[in-house]
């Protein structure tokens, strides 16, 4: 029991809670609008609302009796140095071997498209992780930079015939450049403005791509984008022009799966490079500055760091990786449409970062893999996917803001005598 509350207070409390639940659930969950030939029709489905009301009512009644006084917070006793660090190289090597052999195993082979999409989301999430995880800036328009990367490659390929590997750095530069242009006015201000501005920017980019018919092809997008080459060999059925395909070189007959495997390897390569580059960056002064800025901006400024410049590097680098992901996506799919870059994509990438753990590369990689492959296994999941993602973001923030697999903080400890 908390304090000297009498029974009538508890009952009153429970009645109010039940009433609020009734108002929350009856009109929206209990009454469903539907369009039928006769016009709008209301269906009533009172099972869930009534269950919710009863649960809340009785829950509130017993709550005071089962609630224990809050105990003092236990401070976890930390291990001095994580054991895993010693075997880190072995672990990473094993993981890489696994990733390389995966497409040749039966379960991996059947999920090649899913796995390659997972690589794209990994790239996107690694980029967003720099902005949200390391620098602590909320970017809700990551899909815009993804779109810029994709369209940069698509347009350069269509109008100038640039190959994937020629356009890839340009796509990254274009996305990074837009990141600087957008970030410069906003990053001088308080962090929250960035969230809403990037949200607006995401919409601007999508609307422009959708309406600028003469350049981007409007809602139909751009099709027939060249596939990337692998070490100079083409991976399509027939080589365009003079070139030789990888399959002719290897002396095997072309099967569609081979092309998927080749694309998977290009994706894997990009992810591995991104992981290494971002890992190095985060250990460099600029990476330390991102984290310092996230923790305390005023302290940073008084130590002589320029918050705007540091935020700008994080934001533009994060956008650059989204640009790479976009270029690969365009090459992988062979076509781009504005619909692929709606706000929902930004939301998915953000939930990957939040779920995996902000600032934790391994967590982000695992979350990207899980959330991309999950719909492959649970088909019913698709309808409720965004509903669950939204809920997961809220619940993670309440219960585990550091993510499912948080980064272990780098630290140096003095030897204890």
Binding footprint of other proteins on the chain (CB under 8 A):
20, 23-24, 27-29, 31-35, 40-42, 132, 136-138, 140, 182, 185-186, 188-193, 195-197, 199-201, 203-204, 207-208, 210-211, 294, 298, 343, 347, 350-351, 354, 358, 383-384, 386-387, 389-394, 397-398, 401
Nearer to other proteins, 191 or 243 (CB): 191
Closest approach of other proteins to the CB of residue 32, in Å:
6
From the centroid of its chain, how far is CA 349? Answer: 2
Polymer length in residues for the chain: 417
Nearer to other proteins, 72 or 415 (CB): 72
Residue-wise over 96-121: b if at least 16 C-beta within 10 A, else e?
eeebeebbeeeebeebbebbbbbbbb
**CB 374 within 8 Å of CB 257:** no
Closest approach of other proteins to the CB of residue 347, in Å:
5
Nearer to other proteins, 184 or 233 (CB): 184
Closest approach of other proteins to the CB of residue 163, in Å:
33
**CB 127 within 8 Å of CB 318:** yes
Nearer to other proteins, 132 or 174 (CB): 132
Strand partners, 35: 40
Q: How many CB atoms lie within 10 A of CB 86?
A: 10
Sign of the dihedral defined by the CA atoms of residues 295, 301, 304, 307, in that order? positive
**CB 253 within 8 Å of CB 369:** no
Closest approach of other proteins to the CB of residue 399, in Å:
9
Q: Residue 130 has which token pair?
A: 């720099």
CA-to-CA distance for 391 and 351, rounded, in angstroms?
Answer: 10
Closest approach of other proteins to the CB of residue 90, in Å:
35
Burial class (CB in 10 A: 0-12, 13-18, 19+), 330: buried
Closest approach of other proteins to the CB of residue 342, in Å:
10
Nearer to other proteins, 177 or 343 (CB): 343
Sign of the dihedral defined by the CA atoms of residues 80, 83, 89, 95, in that order? negative
Ramachandran bin of 157, using left for φ above 0, alpha for ψ from -120 to 50, beta for the remaining angles: alpha
Nearer to other proteins, 139 or 234 (CB): 139
Nearer to other proteins, 93 or 185 (CB): 185
DSSP secondary structure code for residue 70 in this structure: P
Closest approach of other proteins to the CB of residue 146, in Å:
18
Nearer to other proteins, 242 or 380 (CB): 380
Nearer to other proteins, 230 or 374 (CB): 374
Q: Residue 241 has which token pair?
A: 């022009």
Q: Which own/partner contact pairs does 390-393 have at CB distance under 8 Å and 24+ positions apart?
A: 390/347, 390/351, 392/351, 392/354, 392/355, 393/350, 393/351, 393/354
Nearer to other proteins, 272 or 347 (CB): 347
Closest approach of other proteins to the CB of residue 131, in Å:
11
Q: Residue 84 has which token pair?
A: 């895993």
Closest approach of other proteins to the CB of residue 165, in Å:
33
- Beta-strand pair 233-234/229-230: antiparallel
Closest approach of other proteins to the CB of residue 141, in Å:
10
């Amino acid at each position: 029991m908390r304090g000297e509350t009498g029974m009538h207070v508890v009952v009153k409390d429970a009645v109010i809670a039940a009433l609020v639940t009734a108002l929350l659930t009856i009109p929206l969950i209990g009454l469903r609008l539907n369009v039928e030939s006769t016009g709008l029709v209301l269906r009533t489905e009172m099972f869930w609302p009534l269950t919710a009301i009863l649960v809340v009512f009785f829950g509130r009644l017993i709550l005071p009796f089962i609630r224990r006084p809050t105990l003092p917070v236990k401070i976890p006793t930390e291990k001095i140095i994580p054991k895993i660090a010693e075997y880190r190289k072995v672990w990473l090597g094993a993981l890489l071997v696994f990733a390389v052999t995966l497409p040749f195993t039966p379960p991996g082979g059947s999920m090649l498209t899913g796995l390659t999409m997972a690589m794209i989301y990994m790239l996107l999430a690694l980029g967003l992780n720099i902005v949200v995880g390391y620098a602590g800036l909320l970017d809700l328009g990551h899909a815009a930079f993804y779109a810029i990367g994709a369209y940069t490659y698509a347009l350069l390929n269509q109008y100038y015939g640039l190959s994937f590997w020629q356009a890839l750095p340009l796509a990254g530069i274009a996305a990074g450049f837009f990141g600087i242009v957008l970030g410069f006015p906003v990053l001088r201000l308080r962090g929250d403005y960035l969230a809403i501005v990037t949200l607006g920017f995401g919409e601007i980019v999508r609307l422009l791509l959708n309406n600028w018919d003469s350049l981007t092809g409007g809602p139909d997008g751009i099709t027939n984008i060249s596939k990337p080459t692998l070490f100079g060999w083409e991976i399509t059925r027939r080589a365009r022009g003079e070139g030789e395909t990888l399959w002719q070189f290897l002396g095997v007959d072309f099967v569609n799966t081979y092309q998927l495997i080749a694309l998977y390897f290009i994706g894997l390569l990009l992810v591995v490079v991104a992981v290494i580059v971002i890992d190095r960056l985060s250990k460099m002064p600029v990476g330390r500055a991102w984290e310092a800025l996230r923790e305390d901006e005023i302290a940073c400024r008084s130590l002589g760091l320029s918050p705007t410049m540091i935020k700008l590097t994080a934001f533009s680098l994060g956008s650059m990786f989204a640009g790479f992901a976009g270029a690969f996506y365009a090459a992988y799919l062979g076509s781009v449409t504005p619909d692929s870059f709606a706000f929902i994509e930004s939301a998915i990438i953000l939930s990957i970062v939040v779920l995996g753990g902000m600032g934790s590369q391994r967590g982000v990689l695992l979350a990207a893999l899980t959330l991309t492959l999950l719909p492959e296994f649970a088909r019913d999941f698709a309808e409720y996917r965004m509903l669950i993602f939204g809920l997961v973001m809220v619940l993670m923030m309440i219960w585990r803001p550091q993510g499912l697999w948080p980064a272990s903080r780098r630290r140096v400890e003095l030897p204890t005598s």
